Amino acid sequence: MSTFQCSATRPCRSDLCCSADGYCSSTAAACDRAAGCQSGCKSIPSPTACQTQVTVPDFQSTLFNPITRTGTTSVLAPNGVLRPAGASCVPTNYALKPCDLVDAMDGAASCPYCLFYYDAVREALEAYDFATLDCAPAGSKRAAAFLAQMRHETGYLRTLYQPLDGGSGAFHVIPMHFPALIAGIPRLAAAVAAELPWTNLNEIATSVTSNSTLQRMLGLIIQRPEHAFLTAGYWLTEAAAARLDSRCGDLRVRADEGIGVYNGEDRSTGYYEISRCIFGSLRDDYGLTQRVQAYKDIAKYTTQYSSSYVRTPPAYATTPTPTPAVDWTTLGIVIGVTIIAVFLADRLSRYLRRTGRIRPFWLKRAPGPATATVPVHGKSKVGAEVAGMQKSGKRDGARTESRTELNPMGGGGGKSQEALSVRTSPTLGGEKNMPGSRSSRHCESWI
């Protein structure tokens, strides 16, 4: 049995699935047959029942044991739940229900794996006191903040791994912070020690950023549901301050402030500050708009949370997909570039025709009578061919026409050189070549 790499003929150990790309994992994407699971696949509970039902069976199980947290502060309330800033009451917890999670992730269509991860998400909320109900008014700002960041980072709980930078877990924590997660989450530390006995935390800290194989192994352990969502809770309560910026502090306090105020690179408040302490900088976080929208969407549900909350199925199942708006800026740029390209092409064409380098097909003349050119210097002279034709007279009704034109190539010694062009034009029935007729024109404009 394998722990990390696998195939259809080389299965993983019994509690892991062999993903489509050949790695052992227990994520929904790895265990879903529809996503290409090769072996050890699991049934994925469908969240579609939440579109119509007020309640569904509670999927909470005894799979996860409560963890022991360290680093608690003096602002903890008597019952062990962090007291919201300025609150005079002792807050209580709200038990997240399965369909509450589906609602927060924007419905069954957006989050096909919601019920698969329900146990793990609920455990993380309660273990790190993010299921705490507000004293007044009813609701849970902490649950809104936690679920909104998780929705943005995981793409509606579709992925717990980011291949671009190796980030793993519910917040896609990058490898350089893996040692902090291992040191701060006892369950994760035990799994790493059991599955990577040849290394230790000190070696991981010194080599994880340069050892891609170690990064992948640790990432596979961290992204397992029983670890992935705990890493999000630990980051918000302790790791952000320890690893990113000490001014982040305990972000549960920021969650109690609601959405807060955005102050750019300066110290923001509320959910905006939580976003900075996850991404690292609001100025560079191009996903800030999506993070804020996720919070606003989820707050519609979490503000109703209470010990007696009864869920009303939302209307997201029948909401039509909005028609994309016309991007007038892009359309204007395309039209402008097209006009400039047509103008430049026209000017180039005119220049080439004026200089005689090209001739449009509609102005090209049909093959005419033979022309003989005899270059001479000084006064004009008639070549031997002209003389011969003069002796023959008007043989076969043909007339001889001679002209002298300036040779555009010039002559040697600074003198102009002339070329004598001789054209013979057959005339039918003795008809004369009248001025302006095709046979009498010598210089033509091609423009």
Within 8 A by CB and 6+ apart from 200, the residues are: none
CB 446 within 8 A of CB 359: yes
Given a cut of 60, is residue 289 above it in pLDDT?
A: yes
Q: What is the pTM of this model?
A: 0.66
pLDDT bracket for residue 435 (50, 70, 90): very low
Q: What is the pLDDT of residue 134?
A: 83
pLDDT bracket for residue 415 (50, 70, 90): very low
Residue 410 lies in a domain: no
Residue 133 lies in a domain: yes
Residue 111: which of 28, 20, 219 has the closest Cα?
28
Residue 440 lies in a domain: no
Listed in order, strand segments (DSSP E) in 23-164 are: 24-25, 161-162
CB 113 within 8 A of CB 222: no
Structure tokens at 21: 């790309």
pLDDT bracket for residue 86 (50, 70, 90): low
Q: What is the pLDDT of residue 53?
A: 61
Domain count for the chain: 4
Q: What is the pLDDT of residue 126?
A: 84
What's the average model confidence in pLDDT over 80-105?
73
Return d(Cα 142, Cα 117) in angstroms, integer.
Answer: 19
> Tell me, what DSSP letter sits at residue 93?
B
Instruction: Give the CATH number of the domain where residue 106 resides.
Output: 1.10.530.10
pLDDT bracket for residue 420 (50, 70, 90): very low
Residue 220: which of 186, 178, 180 has the closest Cα?
178
Same domain, 237 and 138: yes
Given a cut of 70, is residue 286 above it in pLDDT?
A: yes
Q: Helix, strand or coil for residue 273?
A: helix
Give the pairing type, strands 167-168 and 17-18.
unpaired
Same domain, 87 and 13: no
pLDDT bracket for residue 56 (50, 70, 90): very low
Given a cut of 80, is residue 281 above it in pLDDT?
A: no
Same domain, 35 and 56: no
pLDDT bracket for residue 133 (50, 70, 90): confident
Q: What is the pLDDT of residue 105?
A: 95
Instruction: For the chain, give the percent of residues with pLDDT over 90.
Output: 41
Same domain, 311 and 400: no
Residue 82 lies in a domain: yes
Q: Which of 232-241, 362-371, 377-386 has the lowest mean pLDDT?
A: 377-386
Same domain, 150 and 269: yes
pLDDT bracket for residue 362 (50, 70, 90): low
Examine the fold and report which residue of 259, 293, 318 is the final residue of a domain before the chain moves on: 318
Residue 216 lies in a domain: yes
Given a cut of 50, is residue 75 above it in pLDDT?
A: no
Same domain, 179 and 306: yes
Task: Please state, rounded to an integer, the average pLDDT across all residues of the chain.
Answer: 76
Bridge partners of 406, per DSSP, are 418
Same domain, 331 and 241: no
Given a cut of 50, is residue 211 above it in pLDDT?
A: yes
The parent domain of residue 334 ranges over 327-364
CB 114 within 8 A of CB 105: yes
Same domain, 62 and 185: yes
Same domain, 176 and 84: yes
Structure tokens at 113: 């794996």
What's the average model confidence in pLDDT over 34-55?
84
Instruction: For the chain, give the percent of residues with pLDDT over 70.
Output: 66
Residue 430 lies in a domain: no
pLDDT bracket for residue 366 (50, 70, 90): low
Higher pLDDT, 273 or 416: 273
Same domain, 193 and 161: yes
Bridge partners of 82, per DSSP, are 76
Same domain, 338 and 313: no
Given a cut of 70, is residue 96 above it in pLDDT?
A: yes
Higher pLDDT, 306 or 388: 306
Structure tokens at 162: 């980011």
Q: What is the pLDDT of residue 137?
A: 76
Same domain, 296 and 184: yes
Q: What is the pLDDT of residues 250-263, one digit of tens each?
A: 999 899 899 998 88
Structure tokens at 196: 């990577």
Q: What is the pLDDT of residue 179?
A: 96
What's the average model confidence in pLDDT over 332-347?
89
Given a cut of 60, is residue 324 above it in pLDDT?
A: no
Residue 211 lies in a domain: yes
Residue 442 lies in a domain: no
User: For the chain, how many residues are written?
Assistant: 447
